[in-house]
Amino acid sequence: MQDVTDLAFMQVIAFYGAPDFFFTEFFRVHSQSRPEKHILRSIDENRTGRPVFAQLIGEDLIHLERTARELLRHPIAGIDLNLGCPAPKVYKKNVGGGLLRDPERIDEILGLLRASVPGLFTVKMRIGFEDTRHFDRILDMINRHGVNLLTVHGRTVKEMYRSDVHYDAIGHAATRVKCPVLANGNVTSANTARRVLDTTGAAGVMIGRHAIRNPWIFRQCREAFAGKTPVVLRLHDVREYVERLYRATFAPDVPEVAHVNKMKKYLNFVGQGVDATGSFLHDMRRTQSEADLFGVCDRHLLANGDVPFALEPYPGVIARPNCETPDSNADGCSLDTITA
């Protein structure tokens, strides 16, 4: 997830139960680009014990090849190509989800990256741009170019995050391609992950925004996949998570109000599991200092510490759209994966 899945966030997630592997924020590739240093840190300084895939977004063949070769000098698990980002500012540049309108270009990119990457080469895609007219054609390219892993977000680019997820399309991909398929889109909980796997026949799930809301979700998935009842967390556990996340993402050169505002990006998702009325979100969004923020957390999370933290988001308690700009990608460009 762009502007979310940095080194600090990966470390916090891993503390509560890491996924099987991570994907970085996307490296923007163009003629003047160089791999962003802060994203490289999430690879080079990663101590989570989990493999990390380097995610690329771009359409310039020469510079995609150059960037892939540069990243191969770092301890990555593989290279991942983004064909899923639905943000208009991205797809209007004919990258991310925008490439789904141009299967010929996708064919060229897949061929180039497959030839450039001696190890694992993975792809994340949506089911189409405004419809699914090119879906099967692109799936056949995935086979022809020997892609090792395909993640499918079950919406078109134009559907953004508003529509139901077309899990039948993910299931179709799982039967058509030769490589393992990961299901992505509205994987809200461990129980949902289990149902999605049963419905689609996918090899695993990719989880984005709901790992922001619930960092225990990967542990809970493993428990559900093993036939166990997922652990129930309580609001005092959430208070500890907020504190840990605040400290991990703190930078001494960032003004306090700026860091508080950054925390709101995460807490917009966390709040979906705190209370059905949205009171925590209402109060949290109005804080301007660390003291104010943790005062709200104490009133809502510590004072009600024994109340269970909801496994599923409360209906009608919505994260604001500006908090879905991790490409806007909280399900989107990539966070973490767990396989069944």
Q: Would you please indicate which residues are annotated as catalytic (active-site) residues?
A: 85
Residue 151 backbone dihedrals phi, psi, to 5 degrees: -105, 130
- Alpha carbon distance 295, 200 (integer Å): 44
Residue that has been written with the tokens 């540069």 in this structure: 70
Q: Which of 275, 276, 245 is nearest to 262 (CA)?
A: 245
What one-character-per-residue DSSP string does 244-306 give? HHHHHH--TTS-HHHHHHHHHHHHHHHGGGT-TT-HHHHHHTT--SHHHHHHHHIIIIITTTT
Calculate the alpha carbon distances from 63 to 30, 87, 107, 126 in Å.
6, 22, 16, 23
Contact status, residue 42 vs residue 7, Cβ threshold 8 Å: yes
CA dihedral 128, 129, 133, 137 (to 10 degrees): -50
- The tokens describing 94, both together, are 């004919």
Q: Which of 332, 339, 252, 285 is nearest to 5 (CA)?
A: 332
Strands 120-126 and 21-28: unpaired
**What stretch of H or E contains 141?**
helix 135-144
Q: How many CB atoms lie within 10 A of CB 199?
A: 13
